[in-house]
Amino acid sequence: MPDKTLNTRPGRLIGRVQVPGDKSISHRAIMFGSIAQGETVIENILQAEDVQTTQSVYQQLGVKIEATDEHLKIQGRGFSGLQEPVCALDFGNSGTTLRLSLGILAARPFAMHLIGDASLSQRPMARVLEPLGQMGLHIPTDAKTLPLDLEPNAQLNALDYVLPVASAQVKSALIFAGLQAQSATNIVEPIATRDHTERMLTAFGGTSLRHENTLTIQPEQTLHGTTLQVPGDFSSAAFWLVAGLLVPDSHIILPKVGLNPTRTGLMQLLEKMGAHFELTDVSRDSEPMGTISVTTQTLQAIQVTEVDIPAVIDEIPLLVLAATQAQGVSEIRGAEELRVKETDRIQAVTQELRKLGADITEHPDGFTICGPTPLHVVNKTQVDSHGDHRIGMMLAIAALMTEGEVKLSGSQAINISYPRFFEDLATLWNE
């Protein structure tokens, strides 16, 4: 795809956007629908490359999945009904699909060969493979990245495990594995992470028990197909929240956005920076959702520590952008996890925003950002998504506040999570 010229003419963002379905929930809905008994209907599922990868993987495992414009219909087979794939399972660029699926695949009585694209093949899997190895998953080599060969394994051991790093993906993989273990599995979270998997387990008729920071999963639970409404993805809405705060004279309304408190950490940090959001039509379903309204406001610098990071890990590039326009010096630390995302996000964010004149210092685990700094270009500036969808969208928002022409290389990466991003941007932009 050729470089995309980003709209930098003076203007404001006005209007209403229904963001795509939540990516994390869409992945999990397909997985739970596949291992449940009976039919599952998923409404407002995200139509993006990563989720389509999840759908393809479970179809290769013998699950019948029918997609229409309105919903996804899954004929669940239960754990025992999953079938041996006839070729390698291709996980594309989706780390979520791979890490969570390892927990499901760990007790399959047939061998599998797992592959992915160049980016995913460089991303570390040891934090999932090590506890699953303790449960009985066997890989014939010491490989910690793709490609991986899983040997047949019909039974898993129970596990008592303290997560060394706050990770909802590792926790979710262990939940799936724990449902297939010989006895109860206990997962200790020193820092709370997203709870989508626990909520969805309940929606499919299963149970989990939480006592303080310990989650207990009992095995041999029978899950039943159900109907799910996927809320709008908060991580996608986050781009419009930050844009609405920073682009002058803006007013954006975002209906039916997921408001799971383990996901809205960005809103809470922006509120500490002085932002105010209006919430209306809030539901209290298993995955709460509501309408968020945002207008342009002045922000103050913020200090972010490792305790804040798990609830905002995907939105940190946006938080850095907001800090470039805030009054004072902001610090974001304890975010070394960003170095093993789709790209090294600490390096990429620093490098690309500096091209636009931002005052950012890179640290091994985060950033120091001095603001406010007017963003600008010299002649024509070309920024790069680094093949990372979130970096690409963050740079597109940055360009709205930049004087001069900005070209974005690698804009196709945005299709991974938000294929209609530029269409929604065009509906909001008012010159």
Quickly tell me which residue has 């609405």 as its tokens: 244
**Contact assessment for residue 42 and residue 280, using Cβ atoms and an 8 Å cutoff:** no
Return d(Cα 414, Cα 389) in angstroms, integer. 4
Beta-carbon contacts of 22 under 8 Å, excluding residues fewer than 6 positions away, are 46, 230, 231, 232, 233, 234, 235, 258, 287
Dihedral angle over CA of 312, 317, 319, 322, nearest 10: -160
Tokens matching residue 252: 């954006």
195 belongs to the catalytic site: no
Tokens matching residue 304: 């972010």
Return d(Cα 208, Cα 69) in angstroms, integer. 33
DSSP track, 94-139: -HHHHHHHHHHHTT-SS-EEEE--TTGGGS--HHHHHHHHHHT---
Kindly state the helix (H) or strand (E) to which residue 409 belongs, with its residue range: strand 406-409
For residue 328, which amino acid is it? G
Say which of 314, 384, 388, 424 is annotated catalytic: 314
H helix runs in 189-232, sequence order: 196-203
Return d(Cα 66, Cα 63) in angstroms, integer. 10
Number of CB atoms found within 10 A of residue 39's CB: 15
Task: Give catalytic residues, as residue numbers.
Answer: 314
